[in-house]
A and B are shown apart, each in its own frame.
Chain A
């Protein structure tokens, strides 16, 4: 209803406009018709088909009534005006109809676009959900396999000790106890990786970055892995002047712990840890071994979740270790890399941290 009212108002306004302009200027009948048609175009632009048809017809009637002799009647003196009316009504109605069609098509296109967008969104969500599901499934498979292995070793050793009692010779007994010890520690480490990964993916990871000497987490990791290292040599090359960086010591300790674990499991020979300045901006930490080097398939893949270097590897890891390394290093503002050693066989795993310098420090109170 509002639109019909609007149509009639516009027609009335065009009449007024034609009247006023007619008083000021010499308007030909053609000019008048044009101005009336302009009114119809305005209505057709804003309103639906019905109101614009009404405007087209009302314009013809108003033109006849107000501006065609005899004025103020609907009768016509000059016959050719009948043609003008028909053409005027025809043009006005065609306009109304075209404009309505156009609007319909625009709406249709918009609806289609929205549907397509909604469809694409739904598809993306489905893909993400499928990816998550796939990750969850492979995590579960990995976890249950890799946690069962040490648990199996522990349960086996314990039950053997229970059953065998005195019949087991002391050497075997201490071997079984050592195996239980090793496997329990392995379980604890794997659990920590899992927890860190879930904590990170839950958005709960917040790094506490502060200035510290890069050697600190190295000392901690070597202390914690002492038992695991056994007689594998670790050679640390640390500069005489301490190198400082801004990092979260707990995160970097976990990074180093995973890199060392990786070198222990897949590498051979002496493990080297090198700490070097990479200009004024970075400190670089490398863990090098003398093993078979990198597996085929590109170094980037190694840092993905659940990817293991070789299927045959017996060490038993959840495949989360290097993924956590990559995550934590990136979160710390550093780079991570893996390559074959430049000096002979073996792998190099390295990462960088943003370098920092020791501040001025006041002397302690006496």
Chain B
């Protein structure tokens, strides 16, 4: 591997107008593009080309989108961004819990899509390289993961063990939505996976320590009815 080739993105979408939009957007940002119009095509291309990322429309004509997701997750860990016209929060949670990396509801804009593509690709590269950065920095926040030290604008911040665990879990998946269930099982253990009130109370406390205005968080974002997302570092 001498020259790093551009990332290859597989788009599984049957609507011609949406395909046109994806094509224009993905090509103009120098990614390579693969297209599939059905679930069968998507599976075939995913296994033959091993793309770097999949954008999967849940409403493909031949296969149930969530089933397809489960089937893919059985053998690949490539990032999958799910796209759907069904906006219910329950649908989002199900797709995320079944292994989707991110979720977009139609209608969405190019900025939203590109931001999520970047986060997913960066995340996959980081996991693939096997070297977690010991220092996490975003905005005013800086976390030394090796020494478990948290600073905000150069000032040390004291976190309780639970607060720190919550923060470090979100850092491990920075930029990605984590469902309530995923965060609760990571931080409090699978037995507490449905105790969303724990998470909400701790999030309010953590925001009071890390956000200038907890009602307008710039780092610890709420995905309403779904979960939380830690703002990813730019670049």
Contacts and interface: CB of A to CB of B under 8 A. Distances in A.
Interface of A: 181, 184, 188, 192, 208, 210-213, 215-220, 222-223, 236, 238, 240, 242, 244, 249-250, 253, 273, 275, 358-359, 361-366
Contact of B214 (A215, A222, A359, A363): A215
A363 B161 contact: yes
Given A212-B200, A218-B215, A184 B107 contact: yes
Contact of B165 (A217, A219, A242, A364): A364
Contacts of B61: none
A349 to B, nearest CB: 18
A359 B197 contact: yes
12 contacts: A184-B107, A211-B197, A213-B214, A238-B213, A240-B208, A242-B208, A244-B200, A275-B215, A358-B197, A359-B197, A361-B201, A364-B166
Interface in B146-162: 160-162
B107 A188 contact: yes
B184 to A, nearest CB: 10
Q: How large is the interface on B (under 10, 10 to 19, 20 to 34, 35 or more residues)?
A: 20 to 34
Given A216-B222, A244-B201, A238 B89 contact: no
B89 A362 contact: no
Interface string B63-106: 00000000000000000000000010100000000000000000
Nearest to B225: A250
B225 to A, nearest CB: 4
Contacts of B188: 362, 364-365
B161 A213 contact: no
Given A215-B204, A240-B208, A365-B188, 11 more contacts: A192-B87, A208-B225, A210-B200, A211-B196, A212-B200, A216-B222, A219-B216, A238-B214, A242-B214, A244-B204, A362-B188
* Residue of B160, B208, B222 ringed by the most chain A CB atoms within 10 A: B222
A192 B88 CA distance: 11
A364 B224 CA distance: 24
B233 interface: no
B217 interface: yes
A363 B166 CA distance: 11
A101 B198 CA distance: 76
Contact of B204 (A181, A210, A218, A242): A242
B197 A219 contact: no
B187 interface: yes
B162 A215 contact: no
A67 to B, nearest CB: 88
Interface of B: 87, 89, 107, 109, 160-162, 165-166, 187-189, 192, 196-198, 200-205, 208, 213-217, 221-222, 224-225
Nearest to B200: A212
B161 A366 contact: yes
Contact of B200 (A216, A220, A222): A216
A359 B199 CA distance: 11
Contacts of B216: 218-219, 222-223, 236
A210 B198 CA distance: 11
B208 to A, nearest CB: 7
Contacts of A192: 87
B217 A211 contact: no
A364 B161 contact: yes
Contacts of A242: 201, 204-205, 208, 214
A364 B168 CA distance: 13
A361 B201 CA distance: 9
A147 to B, nearest CB: 14
A365 B213 contact: no
A236 B200 contact: no
A361 B198 contact: yes
A211 B187 contact: no
Contacts of A222: 215-216
B162 A359 contact: no
A182 B200 CA distance: 33
Nearest to A356: B197
A253 to B, nearest CB: 5
A9 to B, nearest CB: 72
Nearest to A184: B107
Contacts of A361: 162, 198, 201-202
B214 A364 contact: no
* Residue of B87, B162, B166, B204 ringed by the most chain A CB atoms within 10 A: B204
A219 B89 contact: no
A364 B204 CA distance: 16
B222 A365 contact: no
Contacts of B205: 242
B235 to A, nearest CB: 22
Nearest to A210: B196
A107 B87 CA distance: 59
Contact of A213 (B187, B192, B200): B200
